[in-house]
Structures are given as C-alpha cells and as structure tokens.
Amino acid sequence: MSMSPPGARILLAPMEGLLDHTLRDMLTRVGGVDLCVSEFIRVTNTVLPRRAFIRVAPELLNDSRTVAGVPVKVQLLGSDPDLLAANAVALAELGPAGIDLNFGCPAKTVNQHRGGAVLLDEPELVGQIVAAVRRAVPAHIPVSAKMRLGYNDDTRAEECALAIEAAGASELVVHARTKAHGYRPPAYWERIADLRQCVRLPIVANGEIWTLADALRCRAVTGCDRLMIGRGMVADPGLALSIAQHDALGSSGALTSAVAWSQIVRLMRLFWQGIALRVAPRHRAGRLKQWLNYLRRVYPEAQEAFDQLRLLNDPAKIEQWLALQAPDGSPK
C-alpha cells in the first residue's frame, strides 16, 4: 500500500458570493479538506472593526476553525501596503489560522479600484504589500498569497511569484488563468510548473479541478502536491475525500463521488438552517438553488430537485420541500 504524496494537502478555495462560511461548514463536514481560505475582506481607507472580520469569517470565534475542525485562513484584498498591514494587525488579534492576500480577483469593480488581479501588472507593489503584512503580524501567523497568471497576459507571472517569495510569504496559490481568461477553460497548469522552476516557496495549484482524474492530472502537469479546489468541491462535496482516499489507498479510485445523495440532502438541510440565520428571506431560495445548480454536474437527483424548486422562492415552501425528502434522499 503506497502512502499519500509528501505534503499533500487539499485547500478549499474562497469564492465571493458562493463559497461563504455556511458552505465551508457543509463541505468540510464531509472530510478530505485540510485548510480553507475565506472570501476576501476589502481594505480601502480605514482599519476595519472586529465585526467586519467576523462577518466574513465567523470561524474566528471558534479558534479559526470550521465546525468540523478545519483551519480557516482569512483573506485580505487591497492595494495600500501600510493600510493592509494595519488591518492585518487588527485581524491577527483575533487569532486567524493565517492571513492570505488576494492578487487574483477578476471582478471588474474590484480591479477598477486597484484590487485583486490588476495588481499583477505591478510586481513591485505586490511584493511591498506582502512584505508590509509579513512584518506587521506575529511570526507564528502564516502570511500567504493567491495570484492569477496575470492581468491581460502572463508575461509578468514569474516576476510576481518572485516578489511574493522575496517578501516572505509562506505559500503561494496560483490560479492557472489570467484575469482576461476569467473562468473559461482550460486552466494553464503548465505555467504553474514554470513558476515552480523559479521559486522555492510551496505552490498550490488551482483551476479546473472537477474530478479525481483532474486532480491527478493537475498534480502530474504542475508537480504540485497541494491543490486548491473551489467550484469542483461545490459541485462534488466528496471530491476532496475521494482524493484523500486515493492518496491513502494508492488505488486509481472511482470517478464517482465519495458522498451519497442522501448525505447531500442532510447537508442541504443544515445549509438551509445556516443561511436562515444570516440571509434575508427573499435571498434564501436563491442560495439553495445556486448550490443545486452546481450539484447537477454530478448528481442526477440534483437536477430533479432543481426542477422542483426552480420557480419556488417562498422560504416556507422550500422548508416544506426539504422536510418531504426521505432519509435516503428520495421524495417521501
């Protein structure tokens, strides 16, 4: 029996408007995820109050861990090194599992305000930001970064990676697309392999990992043991567990989910309870349907559920539908 790859880790990606703390809670309950990163907290012109950090990462109130015990790094986004450093100090007082810096967000409104991927055209500034945050927070708190390959093209990817390394980051996640690529396939995994040749800090590969086969192929192309998965985990909550089982058992593994639909139904009920605590009633149905829309990629039952709920927006009717699902996941 072969052992898992040395240092192999699966990270759950942050996804603004989709993968928030409620969904992090659900996905980490399944197993296989070693670390999460929160959605970004935007830093503009002030040091944020404590509640601003906790709103995005309420896990800070639980030793920076999900209910299942998975550590959560908290991500900051901005362009002012001093202001980001000051906010990192405030965040550090809450005891995060780590502080991550966002150089990858492709959103137009964010980029127009000098945040996210647009900074990849300024490798020197990227390095200044990482260095300022690293100097500002206690040494025991890891400071990492996430970047895309570039803004309009990938010509400065190596410069950015070198700047992040020189500034003292402990880890670098690379989403293998530029801002211009958006989320369109493919992901250019071979460029991550190029970056690994020019820096020594650990690199985590991210982008277009939807299945166990994708994960194994990504590892082979990039040379990375560490993977970050976002939409692939939303669509298949058992994906990280499948990868972990493959690593532990040394088998080729099945390409089907490691999680039965009945377990997904139980998670959906918990998810609904979670969003009911934080989300306005008029938006709750949309959040559940958003998740179901991804689950349709893997589960035929999710397509049926989506069809049944597509026109329902009344929370009471959604709750009624959830109550009518039998323990095995089929309608009663």
Say whether 160 is catalytic.
Answer: no
Contacts for 151 with CB less than 8 Å, ≥ 6 apart: 111, 117, 118, 120, 121, 178, 179, 180
- Structure tokens, 28: 């980490």
Which long-range contacts does 189-197 make (Cβ < 8 Å, 24+ apart)?
A: 189/217, 189/218, 189/221, 189/222, 190/221, 190/222, 191/149, 191/154, 191/157, 192/221, 192/222, 192/223, 192/224, 193/221, 193/222, 193/223, 194/157, 194/158, 195/157, 195/158, 195/161, 196/222, 196/223, 196/224
The CA-based dihedral angle spanning residues 297, 187, 267, 105, taken in that order and rounded to the nearest 10 degrees: -130
- For residue 275, how many C-alpha atoms fall within 13 Å in the half-sphere facing its CB? 28
β-strand partners of 74: 99
Residues with Cβ within 8 Å of residue 327, at least 6 apart in sequence: 262
Left if phi > 0, otherwise alpha if psi is -120 to 50, otherwise beta: which for 8?
Answer: beta
**Among 36, 105, 218, 224, which one carries the catalytic annotation?**
105
Residues labelled catalytic: 105
